[in-house]
Amino acid sequence: MKAPAKINIFLKITGLRGNYHEICSRFIRYDALYDEISFVPGTFTDFTIEGMSAIKKEHNIIYKAYKELLAHTKSKRLGEFFYHHKVHIIKNIPMGAGLGGGSSDAATFLLMANKAVDLQLEPQDLAKIGAKVGADVPFFIYGYKAANVSGIGEKIEEFMDDIPPLELKLLPLHCDTAQVYQHYRKNYLKFDPKLASKMAQMSSCQIFENFTPLIANDLYQSAINLCPSLAKYKQNWYLSGSGSTLFRSENENSGNK
């Protein structure tokens, strides 16, 4: 099953909730880039993930999602299923790129496990479970093409968007999400809920037409400060999430390299 990437057309910080940042953001599901997850039959002594050996299992978001699903359902059939199947993943979405690859993997795993073991959980149940392991997981659970996401990621409202063709620039940079948010909180913290609300009502095409990249994403300047090589792109390229992936509308920028 494909686990697609996401792009943040805009991202505004609207408040704080403890150690978390409340956001208002337009999430776009980007189907052209995706990881692939499958359950492979076999005999295993423990929950097994193949294809992500660089990450210890205990730190893997798929494993964390499995543990939360097991705790929620207390299903013996779920545990038994993964003694007879391993999780195989083909990673195509780069990590630390602001594309939600890990969250998409976790959401896709939850959807697949729910169906494979016939747990009969509703999407809202899976979203609550997924939110415990990653703020972006609920968006991927619902499978919307576009949505306004708010709170700390738990409020998902489908948005019927006018999405132009997008050009992505994948840079060989890893932007640490936590560090980018911490830098923003320390150096640039400010809230403009009226602007965020206005942007939430606009189509993606209108966002490109009316807002510069730095205004569209409150985290952009912090990402630049932590990854200075991003600076040369700030005039013409928008930043997804906390970076490092850049994007722009092919319609608006076809003649601007």
Confidence tier at 79 by pLDDT (50, 70, 90): very high
Torsion on CA atoms 139, 141, 145, 148, rounded to nearest 10: -20
Domain with residue 91: its CATH number is 3.30.230.10
Q: Give, in order, the Cα–Cα distances in Å from 81 to each of 6, 93, 114.
A: 30, 27, 11
- Classify residue 230 by its DSSP letter: G
Domain with residue 243: its CATH number is 3.30.70.890
Based on the residue annotation, tell me whether 145 is a catalytic residue of this protein: no
97 is in an annotated binding site: yes
Catalytic residue of the set 105, 136, 161, 218: 136
Same domain, 143 and 204: no
**Helix or strand or coil: residue 36?**
strand
Which of left, alpha, beta for 210 (phi over 0: left; psi -120 to 50: alpha)? alpha
Domain that holds residue 68: 2-158
- Classify residue 105 by its DSSP letter: H
98 is in an annotated binding site: yes
Same domain, 150 and 178: no
Same domain, 101 and 174: no
How far, in Å, CA of 159 to CA of 241, rounded?
Answer: 18
Tell which residue, 39, 55, 197, has the closest CA to residue 47.
39
Q: Is the pLDDT of residue 252 over 90?
A: no
Strand partners, 23: 13, 151
Confidence tier at 54 by pLDDT (50, 70, 90): confident
101 is in an annotated binding site: yes
Based on the residue annotation, tell me whether 136 is a catalytic residue of this protein: yes
254 is in an annotated binding site: no
Give the pTM.
0.94
pLDDT at residue 27 in the model: 99
Which range (4-8, 52-56, 114-118, 158-162) has the least confidence?
Answer: 52-56
SS (H, E, C) 108-129: HHHHHHHHHCCCCCCHHHHHHH
